Every structure is written in C-alpha cells, then in structure tokens.
Structure 1
Amino acid sequence: MSEPMKNVILIFLTLFPILIYPTFLDYSFTTTKFFYLKWMTVAIWVYILWQLLRKNLTPRWNTTTFLAGSFLFLIALSTLFSVDPSTSYVGASGRLEGLIAWVGYITLFLFVYLFFSEKEDRRLLSYITFVSGLVAIYAILQHFHLDFLPRTTHAQGWARSYGFFGNPNFCGSYVTIMLMIGMGFYLSTTKRSQNVYYFLLLSTLFASMLYSSTRSAWVGSFIGFLFISYHVYKKKRLWKKWIALSFSFLVLFIGIGLTEDGSLVKRTFGLVEEGKQVIEGNQHAGLSRLYIWKNALPLIPEYMWLGSGPDTFAEVFPDRPEEKRIYFSGNEDIIVDKAHNEYLQLAVTMGIPALVMYLILVSTTLIKCMHILQNLNYAQQSFLEAGIIAALIAYVVQAFFNISVITVAPFFWVLLGMLNRKVTKTEHTTYSTGFLNLNEGK
C-alpha cells in the first residue's frame, strides 16, 4: 500500500476531532464529520479497487476479516429490511449513524488492520493525542464560556464541556479513549521532556473530562485506570511516575470540585446512589436510562433477527407522553432516538446476530491481547499497547451507559484494528492471511 494513501488516512484521523463548520451552527459537529467520513471511505475504496485492478492486491480471508465482513453484511441486511430504509441508509437526523457510517467504521478498521505498521500506529497515536490536548483545552474554556466559536442553539446555556462533539457525553467518551492512550505514552517514555509533556497532557484531559460531567466516561476511565495500575504494580520502576500522575488527578478532582461548589462530589456520590437504585429496580434512577432500557427490552423479540434497521430506534420506541412527563422532567415532546446503551441499541436496531458478531469481534480481540501484556514485565515500551487495550476496555465499559456516535466511534474502530493486527503477529501469522495482500515486487 502506497505511503501517500497512508498519510492521507493519518491526516484525516488526526484532524477528525476538529473538522467542523462553525458557521453552520446546529450542523457544526455530527453533520460535517459524517460528510468527511463518507468521502474518506469512498476515497479508500476507490484506491483499493484501483490496486485490485492493477493486481497489486489479492483478496484473502482470515477470522478477523470474516467477523468484520459478517458484521457489516448483517448491518446491510438490517438496512434492506428496515422499518425505514432511507433513514437506516443515511441515519437519523442529528445522529447520521446509518449504513454509510458503519461502512466507514469497518473500512477504517480494515485499512489499519491490513496496511498499517507498528511504526505508523505510534505515529498516528502520537498525533491524535496531541490534538486531543488542544480539544481538551478548548473544552475547559467552554466551561467558563470563553470558547471563541459560535455555540449551537441548544448549547447556549451549557456549563458542561462538549468540545467539538456537540454533546458533553460524546466529549467524555472521546476523552476516555485519549486519556488511556496518553497514559500508555506516559508510561512508555523515558525522556524527561516527554514525561513532562504527557503529564501535562493527561492532567489537561482529565480536567476536561471532569468539566464534561460525563459520569459514564468517569466509570470507563476508572476501570481503564485500574487495568493499567495492575500492570504498573508489577514494574516498580514506574511506581513514582504513576503515583505522581494519580496525585495530580486527585488534586484536580478536589480542586475543581471545590470551585464548582462540590458539584463533582455530588455527581460522584449520586452515581453510586443511582446505581444502588437501579439494582433495586427504581425506574426514576439513572437519569431516565432505566426507563428507556425497560421499554426497549420488549422490542428485542420483535426485531430479534435483523433489528428495526440502523438508527431507527426513535421509530420503534413506544411514545407514551404521560410517562415522558414523569421521567424527562415534564418534557413529553422529547424524542428517544438512542437506547443509552450501545449493546441494547445494536440488539434493537440491528438484531441479535449482529450484536453477537460485534461482541465476538471485540471480546476475542481483548482476550487474545492478554498475550501481548505478558511482555510488559520486560519492556517498558510495551506499555503503549497496555494503553491501547485500556482505551478499548474503557470504551466498552462506558458504552454500557452511552451510545456510539459518528464523532467518536472511528477512533474505537481504528484502535480495534491496531490490536487485531498485533494479535495476528503474536499468533505468528502474516499479511498473506489478510483480506487484501500486497503483492511484493510490483
């Protein structure tokens, strides 16, 4: 695969978080990122088809490409038999996570899996973490209404930071991923200047996550932090660095909490209390999530095999104004267009087979990655792999309370592609077992 095409992908992913049209206000975020992802996907497949015609690429299959291809095939079938095929093809208004978006996700996954090298992985990760620091700074400014770009209509009075993602929850899920990758760089570097750089970057990212007040991101990041901490515990040389970073996080949490009149502490303890109420079956708990989940679960038997169609949750979710008034602070006109649980969303809109294929792809990747972690006791540089794995773990945890969105999901799929390639190498296979093989000597 030619270097120019790889560089195009690298530039695209690096700039993706900040690719917006601020002058278009309510269409600044999701719509513009959908536009860029769509045409990037077209460009990739045009190039691949061109290489196939020139016989520089040979189609081949392995388990990873079979799972990804099967998942995409099921999404296509779900779109074909959708309750609203046009919506499933493009996506619902404001969400745009239809078939086009999913083709984009899987395309990025396959491209990184098949054609990137570990050197290119590191280069891409270093670039996107740098940009994440700029995004985090802007998100912090947003909290204090010092942001210099026009706000969307619904965000005029928000104190919660939403960065360049249009929603604080989406900003939180993005920061969760970048925080874990940043931790991997921080632990793998040995240069003093880089130590300082990543320490400041991580502190900034953590502060922006607190200002987003996204509790699902807090939970995911905490699990990812514990995962990395477990492996740091086995390497005493890193204890000092890890304690310093942990202390920084603690100071930021307390400091920001005090300046915000204890709102962070209240939201933290509120999360624990709501979790207790959810377990006890209180429908008023979990910011209306339990209400959505309880009404969404009965939809699964009806749409078990192919789902209602990508991004059609709003069209099949029961419209009960009297219940909405109770669970949505008197707002009976609110449109419930997502399940606020990525796995439930997949089950309802794409069907159980698609959900199972997705879970197999993700879970087998994470399970096989445990072999990679065996090297952490011997090579400090390997902690970057731990950071990537932690990012995936943190994402799948927060996704239990959050949703997949076009502004963040591409990064998850790119990381999944990286890890699948690392697993392939660990199992002593070669690119000749891939879906596309670059013919040498051409």
Structure 2
Amino acid sequence: MAVSQKSTGTLTDGSPLLFILCLVLSCLLLIDPLFPDVQITRPKLLVLELGIFILLLLWLVNIILTGRIYIRKTNLNIPVLFYVVYIFTAYFLSNSKPVALSELKRMLLCASIFFVSTNVIVSDKNRSIILLGWVCGTTLAVIYGIFQRWGQVWIFVVPQIYRVFSTFGNPIFFAVHIVVFIPVVMGLFLYVYSNKKISSFLRFLYLLLLFCVFGASLFALYLTETRAAWIAFGFSLVLFIILSLKSNKLKITFILLLIVCGLFFAYSTKHIWFRHQAHTLIWRDTLNMWLHYPVFGIGPGSFHIYFPKFASEQLLAIWPQRQSIINDSHNEYIQILAETGIVGFGIFMWIIAAFFGEARKNFYRNTSNTNRFLITGLVCSAMAALVQNIFSVDMRFIISAVYLFLVMGLLSSFEEQIFVKSFRISNTVKITGLIILVFLAGSVLQQILKPYLAQRRLSNEPDFFEKKPAEVIAELEKKTKLSPNDAKVYEQLGWDYAKQKNWAKAIENFEQAIRINPNLYGAFNNLGNIYFYLGNRRKSIECYQNSIAINPKQVDAHTNLGIMYYYEGMLKEASDEFTEVLELDPKNEKAIVMLKKMRE
C-alpha cells in the first residue's frame, strides 16, 4: 500500500458491484417476506441473516477491489456506531453472554443493513430497484395474509386463520411490517404521479397497481386486528398529509376528515379496543425493575430473565409465570431503558433524533423535485414503526428492527455529501485481503448457522424414553440375584425399564442403585427425567440438584435442571444453568436451542 487519499464530494457513479449489491438487496426484500416464520427454526430470519451477510461481504469485496471507501456523511453514522459499541461492551461485560448474544446479533444486523443501504445507492435507478423488490415481496405476503382469513380463495387453499399473520408467525409482527410498508407505497404513488418523465400509459398502469397494493395492504392491516398498528398508521397518515400537501387549508381538511373516519372506525371496532392485556401493569413493573439498575440496566436481552422477580402480585394474578412467560415489556422504549439503562436509552433516542434531523435536511433539499415524495414516505414509514413500538416490542423481532434501519438507510441515501478515501494497493495486497475476508466470512457463516443446525440435529435426536434397551431385562434381573450389591446392575435395569416406560420398576431400581452407591449421579439424573415425565416437577428438580451436587460438571443434569426451571417460570435460574452448560460444552445444542426458546 503506497498512498491513501481523502476527499469529500458528490457520488455520481459507482462500480458494477454496487449495482449488483442493489440487486441482491432487492432480491432479499422480495424473497424474505415469502419465507415462513416458525418459532425456534426461524426460516425467515435465517434468510434475512444470510442475505445481510452476503450484502456485507460484497460491500467489503467492492472496497478491496476498487481501493475506495465511500461513506455518506449522514447525521446517523455516529449514533448508530455508538449504539453498536455500547451493545458490544455490554455483551462482553455480561455474566450471561449466551443471553446477551441475541441483542448483539440484532444490533449488528441493523447496523449492517443501515450502512449498506445508505452507501450502495449511487443513482435513482438503484434505489428504484430496491424499492421494487420490497413492493413485490410484501405485496405477495399481504395477498397470502388476506387469503388466510377465508382459507380458500378460488383455486388457492391456505390455512384458515381469523387474525391473519401471513408468513410472519404473529399478527403483531405482520402488522408492523404493513404499517412500515404502506407509507412507502403512498410515497411511491405521489412520486410516480408527479414524474413527467414516465409515459402517460405507464404512469397510469403504475398508479393503478400501487393503488391496488395500498388497498390490499390496508385491508390486511385491518384483518390483523392489531390496535397498536392501527394507531401507528393513523399517526403516519397525519404526518404524510402534513408533509405532502402544500396548502394549509387542504391539510386541515384532510386531517379533520381523518379524525372523523378514525372515530367511526374506533366505534365500529370497540370490541377489539377493549381487549384486556395488562400492558400497563407490565410497564409499571418494568419501570420498577429499571429503578434498581438505572444507569446501565440489567443487560441487553435479559428482560425475560430478571422480570419474574419484579412482577407484581397484581400482574401474576392475571398472567401466572408458570402458565404465561412474560418475555417482553410490550413497550420497546421502556424495555430498552430497563435493559441498557439511561445510557443505552439515551444513545437510542440520539439515533431517532438524528434520523429526523437527516430527514428534515434531505426533505428541504428536495422540495422542488419528485424525490421529496419518496422521502416523505420513508419518514412516515419510520414514524409508524416508532409509534407502534410504544405499545409493543416489534423491534425485538429482528426482522422488524432490520426494516426500520433499512428505512433509515434508504432515507440517508439521499445525502449528497460523501466521504471518500482512496487506496493505491497492489494486486498482491488485494488478493491477500480477499483471502483473509473469505476465512473471516467462513467463521461468521458458521456462527450464523450454528443455532439453526443445532435445532435441526436436536429435532432428529431420539427422546430419552424412545431409545431401545441395551440388554434384555430378564438377563439383568438374573444378575441382580447373582450380584445383589452391584449398583451398576440396578442402574442399568432402571434404565431399561425406563425405555419401556415401566415407571414404577424404573424408579424402584434406580433408588436401589442409589441406596447401594449414593454417588451415582447418573441415577439421580435419570430419576429426575422420570419424575418430570410423571409431572412431579418438585421431585424432578430435587433429583437433578442431587446429581449436580455429586458431579458439578455433569452437563445432562445442568441441562435438565435448566429445562425444569424454564417450565416453572424461573427464567433467571434456567438461564444460569444453560450458561453453565455452554461453559462446559460450548457446542451443546439443547442449551443453544433452549436459550433461544426462552427469548421467544
């Protein structure tokens, strides 16, 4: 490397690889909404993670091959980096890194999509390609969601669901996806309507299609019956009217009309608005938890671990912890405050303030051209997500958070000032850099796939009680008569009876083995499994604890005890056990999957 040069200016063109990056991002936005979201396995999330991984990899390859770094000088760069650094620091200081890992991953994905989408768009054409993929993918998901209400529409047969959720696994997650999408469609509609460069026929066709997409999305939003999303849509619509209309008289007229329609809608759906969910009690108890850890919080991703100790009797009377695990605060801002303290919350609010500052700057720079409608749509899109998260924690759902940061990135791509740093590097250095990047990419890819592969292998693993006995029971019974003080024979016999689900005989033989040799930690662990199967959780926990007391490094007993604590709603204790398992066995698939299950 001989020379490096810094400069600032306007980005007017880019390498072919940047165009390919935009195509990849467009394809990701097209296909990801079509993948189902299933708890634990999360195919939709896996596709998103792999897509962002490919985008980041190609972006770095482009930097190495061209010898230039382009970074748009947006208001958001520094606060987003600060938040990533803060979450990184909190992760490394965490007593339970497997629990904090989910939040670290979420923030890394959000930051990656923000910086990539901000810096790969070098023309309006590139931006249009990305928006096209988004519109097509989400429209297909919306249509599928509408079909769910009836189960069969013409020749299309889908599972019938009253509160539709399309491929998103939950009506709330589908709803936030729609409220983020609708303002973008509205912005595109006005953009096409005002763009005289498009022929009259094509403009009419585009407007008709966008109007149909808007109507279908609005209907799907209604079918989700998600109150927070309806409120968020109302706020975003008011903001859209204010930003897109120049006449104050028209603004007031449309807002008054919207208020009247909103009141009528609220009255006609009053049975939905009065659903009781105890959110205010959760908010109160969460704030109480924050007051105990005000500066740095309880740690990223740790809400569900600590909250049971702060849940009030009034809340537990409605949602008993053994029956309904409360794993979020139903308010993103309160949860950020509780998990990251006033420091993390302050940085997050800095991101929001910087976004609206960037939006204002770009809006006034583009008031005389059609881009202002796209900017308006993106601003209102972010507003919808931020308002909905006052009443829910959709940004805990990584896909929703990624789309919010995608919107921030797309809006920031209108920034005209670019920081450019050029490097004069030899081909040897380029090849070396690419080789290093490939090795790093392989390591990262392994970490991305690790929890999904663990779940797949675990789902194919036979249950403890389904494995075939190692020896014939009759032969073991004979051995007990020949060697009545051989504890191992009784332990093996108990094991074989357990495989046949003869619980009484299994318990009898395990207990006899323990009487002969009280240090048989395996027998205690197996007894715990049987009592768990029989529904005696107290006795099961006692057996697992005895097993661990004899052999503190016994992975199976720690795992089983963690599972028992999970079913008892003792999430902090469960987390401690699974963390201990991963310290003893970093690749333990049950612990990896259970920590993921606890969060979901």
Indicate the TM-score class for this superposition, using the shorter chain for normalisation.
0.7 to 0.9
CA 145–332 in structure 1, closer or farther in 2 if over 3 Å, else same = farther
Alignment of 1:147-186 (within 5 A): 158-186=161-189
1:385-439 Cα offsets, whole Å, 9 max, x none, are 11111101111111111211123221111110122232x32xxx2242xxxx576
Structure 1 portions without partners, runs of 5+: 92-97, 271-284
1:279-300 deviation line (CA, Å, top 9, x unaligned) = xxxxxx9621111111111222
Alpha-carbon distance, 1:54 to partner: 4.9
Question: Quick one: distance in 2 between partners of 1:146 and 1:409?
Answer: 32
Task: Tell me the TM-score normalized by structure 1.
Answer: 0.77
Where in structure 2 are the equivalents of 1:173-252 lying within 5 Å?
173-190=176-193, 191-234=203-246
Matches within 5 A, 1:11-22: 11-20=27-36
Q: How does 1:253-332 map to 2 (within 5 A)?
A: 264-268=269-273, 270=274, 287-319=277-309, 320=311, 322-328=313-319
User: Percentage identity across aligned positions?
Assistant: 17
Equivalent-residue separation in structure 1 for 2:131 and 2:314 (angstroms): 45
Q: Aligned ranges for residues 32-431 of structure 1 at < 5 Å?
A: 32-51=43-62, 53-54=64-65, 56-58=67-69, 64-89=76-101, 91=102, 98-117=103-122, 118-146=124-152, 158-190=161-193, 191-234=203-246, 264-268=269-273, 270=274, 287-319=277-309, 320=311, 322-328=313-319, 333-374=323-364, 378-403=368-393, 404=395, 405-422=397-414, 424-425=415-416, 429-431=417-419
Q: Deviation string for 1:285-318 (max 9, x for gaps)?
A: 9621111111111222433344333322110103
Distance 1:65 1:357 in 2: 12
- The aligned residue for residue 275 of structure 1 is none
Structure 1 distance, partners of 2:62, 2:245, is 47
Ranges in structure 2 where 5+ consecutive residues have no aligned partner: 1-14, 194-202, 428-600
Give, in angstroms, the shift of residue 356 of structure 1.
1.4
- Structure 1: which amino acid aligns with 2:54? A
SS at match of 2:301: coil
Q: Report if aligned partners of 1:313, 1:348 keep a CA contact under 8 Å in 2.
A: yes
Match of residue 24 from structure 2 = 8
For 2:295 and 2:138, the matched residues in 1 are separated by 39
- 2:492 paired residue number: none
Point out the structure with max Rg over C-alpha.
2
- What is the CA distance between 1:215 and its match in structure 2? 0.9
**Is the 2:71–2:119 Cα contact (8 Å) retained in structure 1?**
no
Conserved? CA contact 1:78–1:308, under 8 Å: no
Indicate how the Cα distance of structure 1 residues 440 and 176 shifts in structure 2: closer, same or farther if over 3 A, else same. farther
Is contact 2:79–2:351 with CA below 8 Å preserved after alignment? yes
| CA positional deviation for 1:325 | 4.8
* TM superposition score normalised by structure 2: 0.58
Whether the 8 Å CA contact 1:388–1:415 is kept in 2: the answer is yes
Counterpart residue number, 2:459: none
RMSD across aligned C-alpha pairs, in angstroms? 3.5
Aligned 8 A contact 2:186 2:377 in 1: yes
Amino acid at match of 2:191: S
User: Structure 2 CA distance, aligned partners of 1:233 and 1:55?
Assistant: 43
Q: Contact 1:82–1:307 (CA<8 Å) still a contact in 2?
A: no
CA contact (8 A) 1:321 1:333 kept: no
Q: Residue 14 of structure 1: CA displacement? A: 2.4
Greater length-normalized contact order (CA 8 Å, ≥ 6 residues apart): 1
